[in-house]
Structure 1
Amino acid sequence: MAEAGVVEVPNRAIAAAVMIGVFALIIGYIDNYVRVIAAEIGLWQFQALRSALMVPMLVVAVPLMRLRLRPVAPRAVLARSLVHATGMLLYFGALAFLPVAQVAAGLFSAPFFVLLIQRLAYGQPISPVSALSVALGFVGILLVLGPGAGGSIGLASLMPVAGGAFYAMGNIATRAWCPRESVATLTAGYMAALGLMGLAGMAVLALLAPEAAAGADGFLTRSAAWPSAQVWFWVAVQSAGSLIGVGLLVRGYQLTEARQASVFEYSVLPAAALWGWLLWGQVPGPAAAAGMALIVAAGVLIALRGR
């Protein structure tokens, strides 16, 4: 019997796994083209344009699909949107400098942060098996993002891990704070937060007017620029793909526990690596492959312990 004030949500893990798996295929493909976008426009303009393009898509989808946009708990939706959007800003910022599979591996520190947050915020114990999974996961992240993978421990490699911490908070918030919200409400809130952050970043850069490096190296500090037709196309693809993919992901997190859903998201790693190989000929080195294997193994341990 549920305690007073706690909303019981049915656990439908198989349906969640299917939805998150489709999300992984979509995101693994479209995120491989952020490098094309980063060569011409900045992170902040990218997010502002992407969110702006999603507005008409939502306007059309809401009446056709009879979606509900009005939030049940507006403050909870706002808080969840800001936290999740911060994590994804860090993720997208790193995509200009690292392959998608490596950035995704850094973001997958999220399940380990989920365990730590649930322990600190909700008092859930961390078992020896869970502690081992956290250790394995972080070793895997170091292998994927460290010198052994051909990189170095710097700002670019730390960004997706920091994003993973925010992403973990957003994933917990999806179920703990927003169990009665519709997928459309949470998706719209998340995209709106990214768009507003993008506009804020553009305003700051317009005032400071920093000198941005050419190409993808200037992704974080580039002021507003007029995109080419190619960049407009891939921003539009990002907008449509993200709208569909994030909607599937949000629904997946509503159907099962956060730590189970976070394990299903590991399908992004092979999906991103597959698309990276097919599109750009990128093949993970031995250290990166071993790191990904450790991250997946850690996730499986978390899932089994969660059961």
Structure 2
Amino acid sequence: MSQSTLTKPSALGAPVAGAFWMILAGVAFTGVNTLEQIATVNLHLPASTAAFLQYAVALVVILPWAARRGLPSLKSRRPGLQALRVLLAAVGVQFWVLGLSHAVPIGQAIALVMTSPFIVTLGAGLFLGEKVSLERWLAVLVGFAGGLIILDPFSAEFTTSILYPLAASVLWAGVSLIQKKLLAVDSPEAVTAWLLLLLAPVNLVLALPSGIVMPSGDAWIAIVAVGIMTAAAQGFLALAYAKADAAYVQPFDHMKLPLNVLAGWLVFGWVPSSQLWLGAALIVGASMFLLWRETRRQ
């Protein structure tokens, strides 16, 4: 899950540094996805166990740093909404890892998750009462068209497992929508702390029905590396948004697509189809248009 609470950039700003940290976050998340797939596909670690251990390790890595800075207050005016947000995020993680465990090509999965901003736009118009212009509706349609091209539901190669990353995208869009409502009444620190402290325990609860399987030697190495890189990736994201404006660094987030495609080719031998590139081009183009419109409006 590649979400982070945005922080205000410094007055001087540092665009080059912001771009560097955003690209580094993409590299870290590529490592997370590749190692997660190795742990679940090659080393046969159950997806629910892998998801729990990933965030348990990340929590262990992050807690000492958070303790030195002073843990932010968990006081919230909407604790029920906070809990719902964490639950949606955790279930999204479960679907994401489930997709990787079913050998969905990493690049294809990432491209489908990139439809999340369009789902957020759709939800903001339908559920939050935000005004959505005709241009933004058209961008949403183009983005969804790109996702449909990547899914290719009528081809012989289509399997239901490819729907798992799409389900994760929908759930993480719900997380973003709830976060928008929470930030109107709660501090960014409280919103971040709830997710940081509860994501691992909620994933544990979700993993219990199928049972927790302790990894073997190689699987332990892979999953510990996944947890450490997850924590590092979130830190890189925070640094990127702290160094430069979100409108500037966000386009560099799209680097995660070619990075994951490259990793899938090098590690698993997956060669992306022309349909993937066409669908991805529509998704990236539409998301860049939405970003341009938002920047222009501000």
TM-score by length of 2: 0.78
Looking at structure 1, the residues matched to 74 and 20 of structure 2 have their Cα atoms a distance apart, in angstroms, of 26
Looking at structure 1, the residues matched to 85 and 93 of structure 2 have their Cα atoms a distance apart, in angstroms, of 12
For 1:113, the aligned partner's letter is: I
Matched, 1:110 2:116: yes
Structure 1 counterpart SS, 2:222? helix
User: Retained in 2: the 8 A contact 1:111–1:262?
Assistant: no
Match of 1:200 in 2: 205
After TM superposition, the structure 1 = structure 2 runs for residues 123-162 of structure 1, keeping only pairs within 5 Å, are 123-146=129-152, 151-152=157-158, 154-162=159-167
Q: 1:180 aligns with which of 172, 178, 187?
A: 187
Tell me the CA shift for residue 299 of structure 1: 0.8
Looking at structure 2, the residues matched to 175 and 251 of structure 1 have their Cα atoms a distance apart, in angstroms, of 21
Looking at structure 1, the residues matched to 251 and 198 of structure 2 have their Cα atoms a distance apart, in angstroms, of 25
Q: 1:268 aligns with which of 256, 272, 281?
A: 256
Tell me the CA shift for residue 90 of structure 1: 1.5
Looking at structure 2, the residues matched to 246 and 151 of structure 1 have their Cα atoms a distance apart, in angstroms, of 34
Matched, 1:60 2:67: no
For 1:130, the aligned partner's letter is: R
User: Retained in 1: the 8 A contact 2:27–2:256?
Assistant: yes
User: Retained in 1: the 8 A contact 2:52–2:203?
Assistant: yes
Deviates more, 1:164-173 or 1:16-25: 16-25
Tell me the CA shift for residue 250 of structure 1: 6.0
Looking at structure 2, the residues matched to 262 and 86 of structure 1 have their Cα atoms a distance apart, in angstroms, of 25
Tell me the CA shift for residue 172 of structure 1: 3.6
Looking at structure 2, the residues matched to 25 and 16 of structure 1 have their Cα atoms a distance apart, in angstroms, of 14
Q: 1:47 to 1:88 in 2, by over 3 A?
A: closer
User: Retained in 2: the 8 A contact 1:71–1:77?
Assistant: no
Q: 1:232 aligns with which of 220, 229, 232?
A: 220
Tell me the CA shift for residue 128 of structure 1: 2.4
Looking at structure 1, the residues matched to 196 and 67 of structure 2 have their Cα atoms a distance apart, in angstroms, of 19
User: Retained in 1: the 8 A contact 2:25–2:237?
Assistant: yes
Match of 1:70 in 2: 73
User: Retained in 2: the 8 A contact 1:53–1:239?
Assistant: yes
Q: 1:175 to 1:67 in 2, by over 3 A?
A: farther
User: Retained in 2: the 8 A contact 1:30–1:238?
Assistant: yes
For 1:36, the aligned partner's letter is: I
Looking at structure 2, the residues matched to 84 and 203 of structure 1 have their Cα atoms a distance apart, in angstroms, of 17
Tell me the CA shift for residue 26 of structure 1: 0.7
Tell me the CA shift for residue 292 of structure 1: 1.0
Instruction: Output the aligned Cα RMSD.
Output: 3.2
Match of 2:96 in 1: 91
TM-score by length of 1: 0.76
Tell me the CA shift for residue 192 of structure 1: 4.5
For 2:130, the aligned partner's letter is: Q
Match of 2:46 in 1: 42
Residues 265-290 of structure 1 show CA distances to partners (whole Å, capped at 9, x for unaligned) of 43321221122223333221111111
Looking at structure 2, the residues matched to 42 and 181 of structure 1 have their Cα atoms a distance apart, in angstroms, of 34
Deviates more, 1:272-281 or 1:170-179: 170-179
Looking at structure 2, the residues matched to 249 and 173 of structure 1 have their Cα atoms a distance apart, in angstroms, of 20
Q: 1:243 aligns with which of 226, 231, 234?
A: 231
Looking at structure 2, the residues matched to 20 and 127 of structure 1 have their Cα atoms a distance apart, in angstroms, of 29
Residues 208-255 of structure 1 show CA distances to partners (whole Å, capped at 9, x for unaligned) of xxxxxxxxxxxxxxx433322111011111111111213444676798
Residues 134-182 of structure 1 show CA distances to partners (whole Å, capped at 9, x for unaligned) of 1211121122222588731x43122222211221122244454247333
Q: 1:293 to 1:252 in 2, by over 3 A?
A: same
Identity of aligned residues (%): 21
Structure 1: segments with no counterpart, 5+ residues: 1-8, 206-222
Structure 1 counterpart SS, 2:131? coil
